[in-house]
Amino acid sequence: MTISPLQKERLKYIPKLPGMLRNGIAEIGVKKGEETCSVADQEKIKALFPNTYGKKEITFEKGQNTSPAKKQVVGVILSGGQAPGGHNVVCGLYDALKAIDKENELYGFKGGPSGLLEDDYLIFDDEYIDQFRNTGGFDIIGSGRTKLETEEQFAVAAKVCKKHGITAIVIIGGDDSNTNAAVLAEYFAAHNTGVQVIGCPKTIDGDLKNEDIECSFGFDTATKTYSELIGNIERDANSAKKYWHFIKVMGRSASHVALECALETQPNICLISEEVAEKKMSLQQIASYIADAVEKRAAEGLNFGVAIIPEGVVEFVPEFSALIKEINELLAGSKADEFNSLATWEEKYAFIEKGLSKEAMAVFEVLPQAIQQQLFMERDPHGNVQVSLIESEKLFSAMVKAELDKRKTAGTYKGNFSALHHFFGYEGRCAFPSNFDADYCYSLGYNAAMLIQYGYNGYLSKISNLSKPAEEWVAGGMPITKMMNMERRHGEDKPVIRKALVELDGKPFKYFEANRDTWAVNTCYLYPGAIQYYGPDEVCNLTTRTLALEKQ
């Protein structure tokens, strides 16, 4: 097989482990910390997790390895969206298992959690795994979004584990997948299966973080990749001086990705969904806010700019969420067929006008027609509007244009506004992991093997002190139940890991807030360039600005 020169070099890269895991397996001891309790709803979570709740947090340290000798047969699953570094989690896990005992085995369940249920797997060996070291993607075994959440699924999983003599399952996933890992761990413990479950924090969205987990893996590489592209666009904008670029960046719900890209590139505008919700901003208010910057720059002869739009922003606009709710009701059940049987958009529009409340219609009316039609076309299998597919970068640029047209008529705006649109998401999810993600992920996997060896169940592999060089990183484990609270999901109260949204009183947002007015009007672009894998520390071992600011 032909591989690129970079891939060839990256296969040789030796990921850095935390100092405490570098001493050889025989010298890794455990330091037990305090007993834990969940972040909220302690009594309810305790009742739901009687076997796995309240366990102690642990840290590994240089010392005597006291784990009992036991052959391990481990199964690993990649769950959800791709994130750079996933392959290294598997490599770290494999290397540690083999270092503990050459007879240990690692099964990879294919295509996500469904691989476990369907007993679809491969068994890793050196030759296979060596092709994937330090590479992006999840193609080593594939990923999927099947949720492991029902008793029936758990029973099937237990049966598959028994068949292969599996002693532990490692689930590499986001907040939902790790919530399910905790429920599976509880099931396995309650049914005395002897199978442990360990989670690893993955997602480019960066929303699986808390006082224990400093960041999820993949966020570093994905945001560096988007920032490179945004910086290149900024330089193009500043060269041609004729376009406003509206750039949507991934992040299903939280705006961590948008905020990090803004900190790295200093664009003219970056919306933060959490702030939009806090201030209860309407679509028109957002459009006016952007139009103000366009107008001010035009007054200086700067008819160009860059605006970053977080993928999930429209769901945070209260009036828009209310509109979506009404549309979902309007088309519930057989009413969808009635709507679909209407031949023309005019007839459909009349149907919508009749069905929506006055308030919802007022929001609907101001949307560009393409977006109006999208709201009625892109439905999920339950018939609901798929908000994530809405082209919000186009929505806002069209609304800004309409606002500027009004200002032109009023004589306050005299510039030219020409918009281009981009969506950066899939471009960054499978990039070669940065050195940070390569090291972090390898460490998470290696550490997961140590947690298994020491018999822990329902723990998240935890590597902290990440803003420091890898030598000073701290390896250990945290009971997943510690991160849980009760939330309303699909009409039911469920125990879940709390999703971390952007904190408006946190240092990264505060830094952005203090600078954004200057960035809006002046041209302060930063050009981060491509991820560097080789060279001086200052360019190839940088963490994210978010992490650096949080740890200041």
Question: Can you give the binding site for ligand FBP, defined by CB under 6 A?
Answer: 80-81, 83, 174, 203-205, 250-252, 311, 388, 429
How many whole angstroms separate alpha carbon 372 and alpha carbon 383? Answer: 16
User: Between 231 and 428, whose beta carbon lies closer to ligand FBP?
Assistant: 428
User: Between 264 and 311, whose beta carbon lies closer to ligand FBP?
Assistant: 311
How many whole angstroms separate alpha carbon 351 and alpha carbon 361? Answer: 12
How many whole angstroms separate alpha carbon 5 and alpha carbon 11? Answer: 10
Question: What's the per-residue H, E or C state across 350-372?
Answer: HHHHHHCCHHHHHHHHCCCHHHH
User: Between 80 and 137, whose beta carbon lies closer to ligand FBP?
Assistant: 80
Rounded least distance, CB 292 to ligand FBP, Å = 29
User: Between 128 and 426, whose beta carbon lies closer to ligand FBP?
Assistant: 426
How many whole angstroms separate alpha carbon 353 and alpha carbon 350? Answer: 5
397: amino acid identity, one letter: S
User: Between 182 and 250, whose beta carbon lies closer to ligand FBP?
Assistant: 250
User: Between 202 and 297, whose beta carbon lies closer to ligand FBP?
Assistant: 202
How many whole angstroms separate alpha carbon 379 and alpha carbon 489? Answer: 20
Rounded least distance, CB 350 to ligand FBP, Å = 34
72: amino acid identity, one letter: Q
499: amino acid identity, one letter: K
Rounded least distance, CB 260 to ligand FBP, Å = 13
Rounded least distance, CB 28 to ligand FBP, Å = 30
Rounded least distance, CB 194 to ligand FBP, Å = 29
User: Between 258 and 404, whose beta carbon lies closer to ligand FBP?
Assistant: 258
Rounded least distance, CB 176 to ligand FBP, Å = 7
Structure tokens at 138: 């999840």
Segments of 311-432 assigned E as strands: 419-424
Sheet holding 168-173: strands in order across? 28-35, 56-62, 474-479, 459-464, 196-201, 168-173, 73-78, 105-109, 121-123
How many whole angstroms separate alpha carbon 418 and alpha carbon 168? Answer: 56
Residue in the block written with tokens 């406003």: 244
DSSP three-state, residue 268: coil
Give the residue from 534, 543, 526 showing the smallest Cα distance to 233.
526
**Which H/E stretch holds residue 395?**
helix 392-410
User: Between 380 and 517, whose beta carbon lies closer to ligand FBP?
Assistant: 380
- DSSP per residue, 172-186: EE-HHHHHHHHHHHH
Give the residue from 456, 470, 483, 345 showing the smallest Cα distance to 68.
456
Rounded least distance, CB 486 to ligand FBP, Å = 21
**Which H/E stretch holds residue 196?**
strand 196-201
Phi, psi of 440 (to 5 degrees): -60, -45
Rounded least distance, CB 141 to ligand FBP, Å = 16
Phi, psi of 531 (to 5 degrees): -60, 135
Residue in the block written with tokens 């592999």: 461
Choice among 175, 176, 205, 220 that is catalytic: 205
Catalytic residue list contains 207: no
Q: Which residues are catalytic?
A: 205
